[in-house]
Structure 1
Amino acid sequence: MQNFEFQNATKLIFGKDTEEAVGKEAVVYGKKLLLHYGGGSIKESGLYDRVVKSLHEQGIEIIELGGVKPNPRVSLVREGVKLCKENEINFILAVGGGSVIDSAKAIAAGVKYDGDVWDFFTGESVVTDCLPLGVVLTIPAAGSETSGGTVITNEEGWYKRATGHNSMRPQFAILNPELTYTLPSYQTACGITDMMAHILERYFTNEKNVDLTDRLCEAALKTIINHAHTVLEEPTNYNARAEIMLAGTVAHNDSLSTGRIGDWGSHDIEHEISGIYDIAHGAGLAIVFPAWMKYVYKHDINRFVQFANRVWDVEIDLNDLEKTALKGIEKTEQFFSSIGMPVTLQEANIGEEHFAEMSKKGTERGPLGNFVKLYEDDVHHILKLAK
Structure 2
Amino acid sequence: MLNFTFKNQTEVLFGKGQLSEVASRLPHNAKVLFLYGGGSIKKNGIYDKTVEALGDAEVVEFHGVEPNPEFSTLMKAVEVARDNKVNFILAVGGGSVIDGAKFVAAAVNFAGDPWDILIKEAPFENPLPIGAVLTLPATGSESNGNSVVNRKETSQKRAFSSESVQPVFAVLDPEFTYSLPMRQVSNGVVDAFVHVIEQYLTYSVNAPLQDRFAEGILQTLIEEGPKSLATPTDYDVRANVMWSATMALNGLIGKGVPQDWGTHMIGHELTALHGLDHAVTLAIVLPSLMYVQRDSKKEKILQLGERVFNISEHNEEKAIDLTIKAVQDFFETMQVKTRLSDYDIDKTAIDGLVDNLERNGLTALGEHGDIDLVKAREILTLAA
Match of 2:287 in 1: 290
Gaps of 5+ in 1: none
Choose which of 62, 66, 77 in structure 2 pairs with 1:65.
62
Match of 1:7 in 2: 7
Q: Aligned pair 1:107/2:113, yes or no? A: no
What secondary structure, in the 3-state scheme, does the structure 2 residue paired with 1:161 have? strand
Distance in 2 of aligned mates of 1:124 and 1:143: 22
Q: Aligned pair 1:16/2:16, yes or no? A: yes
- Determine if contact 1:273/1:284 at 8 Å carries over to the other structure: yes
CA shift, 1:142, in A, is: 0.8
| Moved beyond 2 Å, runs of 4+ | 126-129, 351-354
TM-score, structure 2 as length reference: 0.97
CA shift, 1:207, in A, is: 4.4
Choose which of 176, 181, 184 in structure 2 pairs with 1:179.
176
Q: Aligned pair 1:330/2:353, yes or no? A: no
- Determine if contact 2:290/2:297 at 8 Å carries over to the other structure: no
Aligned residue identity for 1:67: G
Choose which of 342, 347, 356 in structure 2 pairs with 1:347.
342
Greater displacement, 290-299 / 121-130: 121-130
- Determine if contact 1:305/1:316 at 8 Å carries over to the other structure: no
Q: Aligned pair 1:190/2:187, yes or no? A: yes
CA shift, 1:112, in A, is: 2.5
Distance in 2 of aligned mates of 1:29 and 1:323: 61
Gaps of 5+ in 2: none
Aligned residue identity for 2:352: E
Distance in 2 of aligned mates of 1:330 and 1:86: 53
Over aligned residues, Cα RMSD in angstroms?
1.3
What secondary structure, in the 3-state scheme, does the structure 2 residue paired with 1:21 have? helix
Q: Deviations over 1:118-140 (max 9, x none)?
A: 10111151345421000000000
User: Percent identity over the alignment?
Assistant: 37
Greater displacement, 17-26 / 335-344: 17-26
Q: Aligned ranges for residues 10-159 of structure 1 at < 5 Å?
A: 10-26=10-26, 28=27, 30-55=29-54, 57=55, 59-123=56-120, 125-159=122-156
Distance in 2 of aligned mates of 1:25 and 1:124: 30
Aligned residue identity for 1:253: N
Q: Deviations over 1:336-360 (max 9, x none)?
A: 0011001101112222333112112
Distance in 1 of aligned mates of 2:11 and 2:307: 32
Q: Aligned pair 1:359/2:358, yes or no? A: no
Greater displacement, 112-121 / 2-11: 112-121
CA shift, 1:372, in A, is: 5.1
Distance in 2 of aligned mates of 1:328 and 1:83: 49
Aligned residue identity for 1:31: A
What secondary structure, in the 3-state scheme, does the structure 2 residue paired with 1:359 have? helix
Are the structure 2 counterparts of residues 4 and 156 from structure 1 closer, same or farther at C-alpha, using a change threshold of 3 Å? same
Q: Aligned ranges for residues 292-311 of structure 1 at < 5 Å?
A: 292-311=289-308
What secondary structure, in the 3-state scheme, does the structure 2 residue paired with 1:299 have? coil
CA shift, 1:165, in A, is: 0.5
What secondary structure, in the 3-state scheme, does the structure 2 residue paired with 1:312 have? coil
- Determine if contact 1:10/1:170 at 8 Å carries over to the other structure: yes
Q: Deviations over 1:103-155 (max 9, x none)?
A: 11000000121112110111151345421000000000011000111000012
Distance in 2 of aligned mates of 1:192 and 1:124: 30
CA shift, 1:190, in A, is: 0.3
Q: Aligned pair 1:270/2:305, yes or no? A: no
Q: Aligned pair 1:232/2:217, yes or no? A: no
Q: Deviations over 1:165-186 (max 9, x none)?
A: 0111101000000000111111
- Determine if contact 1:30/1:91 at 8 Å carries over to the other structure: no
